[in-house]
Amino acid sequence: MDIKILGAGCAKCHQLERAVRATVESQGIDATVSKVEDIMDIMAYGVMMTPALVVDNKVVVKGRVPSEDEIIAMLKKAEAV
């Protein structure tokens, strides 16, 4: 699974990155997590509000930090596909 956190470096972007990394580790999910900070790369996903979460090239959240339960549900759903 390929997970990207889109954000230029704001507090919420860092919060989302920490939450996603912690969830991947605690749930034993086989994933590569990376951070995308370049505004042109972020815009290429059609995202105008950060932070955003991209799982396997699909934007699943934008403009907010989801709860841990939401992150788990999104990653488990993507893992099942």
The answer to whether residue 11 is catalytic is: no
pLDDT attached to residue 62: 95
pTM of the model: 0.93
The answer to whether residue 1 is catalytic is: no
Q: Using omega within 30 degrees of 0 as the cis cutoff, is the peptide bond preceding 66 cis?
A: no
pLDDT attached to residue 47: 93
- Averaged over 36-47, what is the pLDDT? 95
- Averaged over 2-29, what is the pLDDT? 95
For 9, the domain range is 2-80
CB 74 within 8 A of CB 30: no
Question: For 51-63, how does the pLDDT look when each residue is reduced to its tens digit (9 = 90+)?
Answer: 999 999 999 999 9
- Considering only CA atoms, which of 2, 4, 71, 1 is closest in space to residue 38? 4
- Considering only CA atoms, which of 29, 30, 5 is closest in space to residue 17? 5
DSSP helix/strand/coil, 34: strand
Active-site entry in 2, 8, 9, 10: 10
* Count of structural domains, the chain: 1
Active-site entry in 3, 5, 6, 13: 13
Q: What is the CATH number of the domain that holds 31?
A: 3.40.30.10
**Average pLDDT along the chain:** 94
